[in-house]
Amino acid sequence: MVIYLHGDLGSGKTTLVRGVLRALGYHGRVKSPTYTLLEPYRAAGLDFRHFDLYRLQNREEWASAGFREEMDGHNISFIEWPERAQGRLPHADIEICFEILPKGRSVEISGCTLTGRECLEQL
């Protein structure tokens, strides 16, 4: 499953990933992959990949970083700033858009594939 996370810096993208992992029983440190670009996790018998593509200068960097191998159909991938690798990423099953408001946040969640819509129905 591929989940795109859209939103400005500080809008809550990494906080959401942290919350999902905690809800699934992960007890380790969940940090923003801003500098490493990728952080792997395992929780509830599932393999997660948390990408932060903010620092990519162009979409070719995605391919040269070797991330394509991480999209093997066995991982659940959260991808922050997916537009930085546009055309190189698999299509999103779910897209989550965060917006910072004067008071709080707004979050819009969309199922983009049958798998994504079925997942959201379970929530």
**Spatial distance between the Cα atoms of 71 and 63, rounded to a whole number of angstroms:** 11
The fold of 2-122 is: Rossmann fold (3.40.50)
- Return the structure tokens found at 117: 């819509």
Verdict on whether the full-model pTM lies above 0.85: yes
Q: What is the pLDDT of residues 46-84, one digit of tens each?
A: 999 999 998 887 767 777 777 777 777 789 999 999 998
Judged against a pLDDT cut of 70, whether residue 14 lies above it is answered with yes
Phi first, then psi: what are they for 116, rounded to 5°? Answer: -65, -45
Contact 86, 53 (CB under 8 A): no
Average pLDDT for 20-45:
90
Domain spans in the chain, listed from the N-terminal domain onward: 2-122
**Spatial distance between the Cα atoms of 95 and 6, rounded to a whole number of angstroms:** 8
